[in-house]
Structures are given as structure tokens and as C-alpha cells.
Structure 1
Amino acid sequence: MLLVFIVVGLIPLYIFMYILLDNYEEKAVSSKFSQMQDQIIMLSNQIVPTGYLTLADVPEIDAEVNRIAEVFQGRILIVNSNLNIVEDTYGLYDDNKYLISKEVIQCFNGNISKVYDKENNYLILTHPITHTVDNQKTVVGAVVMNSSSKDIKSILLSLEQRAVIFSLALAIFIVLFAIIFSRKLTKPLTDIVSSIDRISEGVMDEGVSIKGYYEIEKISDSFNQMINRLQKIENSRQEFVSNVSHELKTPITSIKVLADSLLMQEDAPVELYREFMVDITEEIERESKIIDDLLALVKLNKTAGDMNISSVNINELLEQILKRLQPLAKKQNIEMIYESFRPVTADVDEVKLSLALTNLIENAIKYNVPDGWVRVSLNADHKYFYVKVSDSGIGIPEDALDLIFERFYRVDKARSRESGGTGLGLAITKSVIQMHRGAIKVHSVEGEGTTFNVRIPLNYIA
């Protein structure tokens, strides 16, 4: 970020300086050529009427030519139509010398030549001398004017020095500003990194309160929500470890007590043996159910590659599930209602989906009120089929809605144990639905009932 600030600040500055200096030099040279041209035009207007190109001995013209050459710190050569040098302010050529050059030859064709020699610091302007007769211009001579460009070079060097000083000062300011601003900009991110490091060390009780620009505050809020959820999951995990230890230990303890009781009674009647064996069998079944649910969940989470996809009639699948659960509903006098809006056939793993839907409907029966009802509905569109399971049961507290799909989480622990629940049913259900690329949502009002909405694609996509 610091490098970005420096580059973004300095590169435009360098480009601006380059364009500014180059533009000044171009305009300064153009301006000097214009001044030279103006002087030559005025000089030409004096030369033609006096016959200077033939006489070459007019003191007034000589003085004016020398004055102009001195002003421009250069040299002036005047050539007549025969290319004979009429005047040379340097006095190097006499009247018998000729000046034959490309620029002079082109000048007699009416062309003006301008040459800027940067290395030797001078400008050369070759300009025709014209005589107008009957509105017709005739080139009768040429003026070759050399002028020093040291003044332009001197000013340009002065500007470059000032620009360098200004650039250095501005560069220092940009670097300092970039350092301060980048530190201020990244400080909230550094604080978040520090908080993440503390969490990675196991300190999850501290939240993050970072004030800054809007996006950082949003990250801070999301981070706090993540910490809270992780804390809830950790609490749930610890509670699960405690619960599952208790749940697994309780049947074994009961079996041991029953077995010890039988061993202590040498002449125990057969009826007592039978009663104790029934109790031992129930405890073994309870232990077996907990272990089966654990294994089922582990197997579901291990891989989704074992999906046995086939075309299944969802209407018939739900009817079979309801038929199996009917005795449980009758035991609690629960009315079972099934609504099918259309025939539905989908590509699913029948065994796994049956397990998930059975868990939902069984929970709706177990956690219902006496003389209550359970309504199961099936519908579909061109892409998904939808299963809704509603009940008139005890409902789920609002603060528990986000946790009910966590492993071993149970809203009413006492009632869950009485009903034989292990806290794994909804976790298994969610895993199965996600393996089918589906989704599950829950809506519940405590004391009024719960509704689970399941959406699964008709066509399975691996």
C-alpha cells in the first residue's frame, strides 16, 4: 500500500515536470524564431529600396544589420540573387564569396527554413528577401540569421533545478503522507490480525471493537458474530462430550447394576431373571441407538461419493414413512395429515433421504402436545421438489433456532432423554439434504409449533 501511494504520487509528478519543461522549451524556441522573423522582415523592407543587394555599401543598413546581430547575439549573412554574399556581420566573407546551401536554394523558392541545434545552442533562420512589383512578389535575396539559444538553455536549466527541488520536497511529503496514511489505514487490519492470533491461542472471550472506516467496522461486526458462533459451537461441543459420556455410561451402569443384582441372588426366580433381562435388553438397545446415530453421522460427513442415486417416487416414499410412524403417532393421539399437490419423481439416494425425512416427521411427533397434529405436504416445480413438515408442538426458542442442526444439541435435554433422542437427528437430516444439493429452513414459535421447509433438486448434480 505504501509503494502504491508513492508510485501514484511520484509518477504523475515526473510526467507533469517533463511535459512542462518540454513545453516551455518548445514555446521559447518558437517565440525566438518569431522575433527573428519580424526583424528580418523589417530589415528586408529597408534593404530593397536602397539597392543594398547590388551596392552592398549603405552605412545605415550595415548599422542596422550589426545592431540586430548584436541583439540576438548571433550572425547575419545577406545573399543576393546570384548567391553572392553581400554582408557578413562576422566579416569572414567578402563580396566575392558565394553561399550555396540547401536552405538558401529553397529560400529562393519562397521557403523559410528554421533549424534548432540543441547541442551547439543556436538557432538558424533562413528567410527570403522579396520585392513586390505589380502585386507580384519576387525573391531577390536571402537572409541567414544565426542566434544564440543560451538564454533559453539558461532559463530551462534554472527551471529544471527549481523543478527538481520542488519535486524532491513534494516527494518527501508524499512519502511521509503515504507512511502515515498507510499506517492509519492498516492499523484496524492489524488489530483484527492480533485478535485472530489471540483466538488461535484459545482466547475466545475477547470481542473486537475497532473504530475506523465503514468497511472495517463491518468486518469487526462480522468477526464478533463469528467469535460468538464459534463460542456457541465450542460450548455445544463441550456439552456434547459431557452428554455423550453420560449417555453412553448410563446404559452400561444400569446393565452392571442389574447383572450384579442377579448375581447376588443365588436362587432368584425365573420371573425376576426375565424382568431383569428385559431391562438389560432395553438398555442395550438404547446404547446401540446412540452408537448407530454416531456412526451414521460420521459416515455421512466422511464423503458424499457413496450416494446411490436412483429415480424415486417421492409420494410413495413419504407414504411409507408415514405408515411406519403411524403407531408412534397413535400412541400420543397425534393426527397425521398428508398433502400431495402433484406426483413427484426425483433422482435421490432413497435410503439416506428416507432417514432424513423420518427424523423430521418423528421429531414432529415426539415433541408435540397430546391430541396434536402433524402435517406433511409435498409439492414441486420444474427444478425442485419441496417437503414441508409442520406440527402443533412445543416449538423451539428463538435463540436456539441457529443451533438445532448442531451435533448433539438438544433444546429440552430432559425430554430428549425421555423420548430416546440423542441430539443427532437434525444434524443427520441437514447433512443428507446438503449431500443432495438441497437446503432446509426452520420457522418456529415457542408454544405454537414448528415448520421445517426442505428443498431438493429433482435432478442430482454430482
Structure 2
Amino acid sequence: MSSVKNEIFSMGIKSKLTILISISIFSLVFMFLTLLLIAGKEQKETAIKNQLIAAIEENAQKIRFRNNIFVFNPIYFLQDNIYTSLYDEEKEFIYGEIPENFPFYTDFTINTLKKTEHFYVYDIQKEVQGKKLFVRGVISIASARQTFSILFFTILAFLPLIALLTIVLARVFIDKSFKPIEHIIATAQEIQNKKNFSLRIGLPGKSHDEIHALAQTFDTLFEATEQAFIKEKQFTSNASHEIRTPVSVIIAQCELALETEQNKENQKALGTILWNAKKISQLTSQLLLLSKAEQNADILEREKINISELFEIIAEQQQEIAKEKGLDFSYSVENSIFFHGDPALLTSALINLFSNAIRYNKKHGKINFSLSQGKNFIHAKISDTGIGISEQDLPKIWERFYQADKARNKKEYIGFGLGLPLVKWIIEAHQGKISISSALGKGTIARFTLPKNI
């Protein structure tokens, strides 16, 4: 019983409402039919009673007495399932029809309808030319019950059809009622998936019901959210542009000063300024790229590239950086894999992944990179033996500016939290998919696929 309850409670709202409305309508129909049967039974019994009384009174009028003999037409003594019988003043049976199993008795109740177990009985007393006569009418109750039974079983046979029709009508009604809600859900999901806050629900029609009011409220909310995002993107883009020029000047001046500066303390100070200026330059570049991505700007410059050669060159460069840090870097690249994409953005994505593998690795750790192709997809995998990412931090790594656990926030590991969101956007902009699995203290594996048919 509990499993049935759990199954019902786990149903969708539409299914629950369909069941509830179907049961309610079917119950009402069943009650109506029951009342109709009861009323029909009573009406039929009343009609039979009235028919019996009318028939006996009419038959009594047709009896004559001639030459000390009662004269009557035998045809009237069994008509319409009504049995008529005659008795003299001594209550002796004279003539007539008596139904089988009817108890023969001469206790007459004049002008009063009597009911036995199986029959209705009606007696009248008539005087014909001075002779007293008793006329008895009998009709079987079974005839009324038979009509009721036919009606009952007819309705019973149609109950499954009524139930099915009720469910179908309830479902059609609910589906039609839920269409606006489904439209709201579909629009909200599309906004979420495409990150396009310019979309609106815009329910058709001029209804003023609660669902249309809800849709209008959501549209107002989406409008306010879109404006907030536009302002944020404009601010990010404008700020990045404004910062880029002075930072470029600082980098250039620091590099120039380092070429001529002899004082070691000054060289150290200039080196620190130069390192931080480059970090700021990198940050502004990433912010500008993400800003364009969020504005759905078409910044991909696609061309047919030999992705094997491109990724192998990047791997060789990163191998040198890894060796300088005492890391074992190995790679395996399948030859002649071609792809239609943006080489600059793909390079940026791969370098970001390699940088993370190098930055967050352990002393004398290992990095492995592989590139291969299947029937429909290009597969890339980068694994490392680094410090890893905790289970609670893993779902949040795609958020901008998110910094994972404290171990990854040490000075030697410091980053901006923009690399992985940028990588994710670049891969998805090429209709690819990326995933990262990791275990704290054991290492991280990044995988991405790119479709071959674009």
C-alpha cells in the first residue's frame, strides 16, 4: 500500500490532477446514475401500480349479468401481464387467470393495493344487476424488477466506457490548461540554457487569469535581469578597455627600465611590478573575451586547421615549461586530425588546461596529454598527479572568479578563477563538451570532445 502511495506522490501534477478530476467526475456520474436508477425503479413501480388499478377498474366495467349468468370477454382476463379473476359474493372463484405461484386466498381488501413477496394485488367490489362480484387483479413485481435489471446492467456495461471517456476528457482539459505553464517552463529553460535574457514568455491572448499574470511578472523580472546583465557586461568591457592601455604602458616601461637598471633592488622591484602588470593584462584580456562571449558576439574566426599539428606544438612548448618545474610531461597525438575552428581560441583553451596541470601539480609530478579521433568526435585528455580538487568544490569550478579550497589558493597556485570558465565557453562555442574529474590529493583529469562534422 505504501509503495502505491509513494508512486502516486511521485507522479507529475498533470497526472495527479487527471486522477483527481477523473475520480471526481466519475463519482458524480456514478451518483447521478444511481439516483436515476432509484428514481426509475420507483417510477416504474408506480406506473405498474397505476396500470394494475386502471386495468382492473376497466375490466370490471365490462362484466355483464344476463339470465343469471355473468357475461365477459375472456381476452381481458390476461392482458399486459395483468391477471384478472372473478369471485361471487360468497367469495367463490368463478372465472379468471391466476399467475403461477400466486397464493390463493379470499381475503379481499377492497380498493386497496396490497403487496406480497412477489406480486401486487388489487381488489374491487362490483355490483352487477343486484349481484355482488369481487374482481381481483394481480401483476408480478418481477416485471418491474426486470426492467430495472436491464437498465442497471446496461449502465454497468457502459461504466468502463464512461470511466475511459472521463479520463480522456480530464486529460484533454488539463493539457489545454497546462499549455501556458509549459510555455513558461520551456521559455525559462531556454533562457537558462542559452543564457539569453532577451527572450520573453509573451503568452498569446488577452486573458487576465492568474497564469497570464504570472507570465507577465516573469517577463518583467527577465527584463530587469537583462538590464542588470547588460550594465554589468558594459561595465566589465569598458573597465577592461580602460585598464588595458595603462597596463600595456606599465609593462613596456618596466621592460625598458629593466634593460638599463643596474641596481639589484630596483631590478627586483621592477620585476615584481612587471609580473603583476602581466597578470593584470592577462586578466583584462580574459574579461574582455568572456564579456564578448556573454554578449553572444560572434567572435569565432573559423578555418580548417590541422589540430594535430597545433596541439602538438602547444604540447612541446608546455613540456619545456613543465621540465623547468621538475615535472614529467608526456603526450601522444594522433596524426592528421583536421577540424574547422578558431585556432587562437583553441590554443588559449589548451594552454589554460596545461597551465592548471602545471600550476597545481606536486613536486616531481606527472602530466599526460593525448589526442585521438573517433568516428564522429575528436577526443582530448589531460591528466595530472597534482593536488586535485575536493568533491564539494568540483561543481563550482566553472563559475567566474571561483577559487577552490585553501590548498589551491597558496601563493604558488594563485589564479584569477577565469581560466576554466573561458575554456568551457571556447569548447562549447565549437559545439564540443568538456568535463573534469578529480580527487583531492590524487590529481585531476580534464576531457573534452569536438565534433568532426562542423
Task: Name the larger-Rg structure.
Answer: 1
**What TM-score comes out, normalization by structure 1 length?**
0.46
